[in-house]
Amino acid sequence: MTGRHDTPVTLGWMREGTAHLLRSADKLDDDAFAAPSALPGWTRAHVAAHVARNAEALTRLATWARTGVETPMYADRAQRAAEIEESAVRPAETLRSELVSTAEALDAALDALTAEQWQAQVRSALGRAIPAAEIPWMRIREVWLHAVDLGAGASVADLPDGVVDLLLDDVTAALSGKDGCPAIRLVPADRPGTWQLGTVPAERTVEAPAAVLAGWLTGRVRRADWPALPAWL
């Protein structure tokens, strides 16, 4: 299975996800950007603003990897929140343009990395040391999932199978280390293999298509008959 540092594959998923997100944004008229998104407390403009600012933050990581000069994604969480709020009040036309221009800048910054620079250590927004090769995977999660949040017809069913599998790996590991995580065996109905959430042995089994499971773990699919989960991020 493809790993999250396999850039020949993940760069393709990133670009495909960017195109998918832009198509979703283009389905919205300007007034629709002021309407609520699928994320509590955020309008669609907030989602678009976040995705654009995220591209800039990841470009800073790519620059760090290329130059060796420490360039964090954000100074702190307050800076991240302030940038989103400031950007979310911009006209819809500006937000559309920034979604494109910031994605193109990130793409160019990643294209400029050498094989050695892909292995350079940088830090995620949460302070985790990662190789630059993880940057495309970080962006994949943003573009594919936030396309769903725009509420313009995209769904978790659109995610490529490999992205779904990596999300299941990524999110089960993240959630399993959090307080209040239930012990659940996840059984995809449409592919072999299982995933474990929380501790072993599992207290129950949840079966559904893999994309639905990934959507539930990331908060994009809600099922009242399934246990409550801690926040992923």
Mean pLDDT of 88-93: 97
Q: Is 63 helix (H, G, I), strand (E, B) or coil?
A: helix
Q: Do both 37 and 122 map to the same domain? A: yes
Range of the domain at 16: 7-154
- The dihedral built from the CA positions of residue 6, 12, 15 and 19, taken in this order, carries a sign that is negative
* Structural domain total, the chain: 2
Q: How far is CA 40 from CA 46, 47, 220, in A?
A: 11, 11, 11
Q: What is the pLDDT of residue 77?
A: 87
Quote the pTM value: 0.96
Question: Does pLDDT of 124 surpass 70?
Answer: yes
Q: Do both 23 and 87 map to the same domain? A: yes
pLDDT tens per residue across span 94-122: 999 999 999 999 999 999 999 999 999 99
Q: What is the pLDDT of residue 122?
A: 98
Closest C-alpha among 88, 72, 216, 220 to residue 146 = 220
Helices and strands: H and E segment counts in the chain:
8, 5
Q: Do both 120 and 206 map to the same domain? A: no
The residue from 133, 154, 175 where one domain ends is 154
Q: Do both 202 and 141 map to the same domain? A: no
pLDDT tens per residue across span 162-200: 999 999 999 999 999 999 999 999 999 999 999 999 999
Q: Do both 80 and 14 map to the same domain? A: yes
Q: Do both 143 and 176 map to the same domain? A: no
Q: How far apart are CA 184 and CA 147, in angstroms?
A: 28
Q: Is 197 helix (H, G, I), strand (E, B) or coil?
A: strand
User: What mean pLDDT, rounded, does the chain reach?
Assistant: 96
pLDDT tens per residue across span 13-58: 999 999 999 999 999 999 999 999 999 999 999 999 999 999 999 9
Q: What is the pLDDT of residue 1?
A: 63
